[in-house]
Amino acid sequence: MLTVLHICPAGHWERVPVGGHYRADSLVEEGFVHCSDRGTVHLPANRLYVGRTDLVLLEIDIAGLEVRWEPPVRSAPTEGPWFPHVYEPIPSAAVVAVHEFQPDGGGLFHVPESLAVSHTTNIV
């Protein structure tokens, strides 16, 4: 399963009915839902949401969704990482987990422990 992350005010997600669809404001304004992967989610969070305490991360299974990896809207195509953009409303069933997304004491965001990938090696 390939998943991406979307930063969302908790109240917006709570209003999505079971079996409904999540529609970020950017879907209407820009034509897509801004998403990130685990390695880049802190970048838009720390640029746009420093100090906010009302956010969650939606972990979205993108199978069957129209997703394009594109450069950040505000930079040249060759600068920085590309981000996944979802070009349709996101079915609530595609959201496989909702993670708390709280800033640290300085107001900055990091990947939550619930999303940290652990690597173990079995030595025989």
Q: Domain for residue 122, yes or no?
A: no
pLDDT tens for each residue of 21-74: 999 999 999 999 999 999 999 999 999 999 999 999 999 999 999 999 999 866
What pLDDT does 120 receive? Answer: 46
Q: Domain for residue 38, yes or no?
A: yes
Which comes out higher in pLDDT, residue 102 or 116?
Answer: 102
As for how many domains the chain has, the answer is 1
Q: Domain for residue 24, yes or no?
A: yes
Q: Domain for residue 109, yes or no?
A: yes
Q: Domain for residue 124, yes or no?
A: no
| C-alpha–C-alpha distance, residues 37 and 120, integer Å | 21
Domain range spanning residue 78? 3-115
What CATH number should be reported for the domain holding residue 49?
A: 3.20.170.20
Q: Domain for residue 65, yes or no?
A: yes
Contact (CB, 8 A) for 58 and 96: no
Confidence of residue 80 (pLDDT cuts 50, 70, 90): confident
Contact (CB, 8 A) for 74 and 85: no
Q: Domain for residue 78, yes or no?
A: yes
Specify the pTM: 0.89
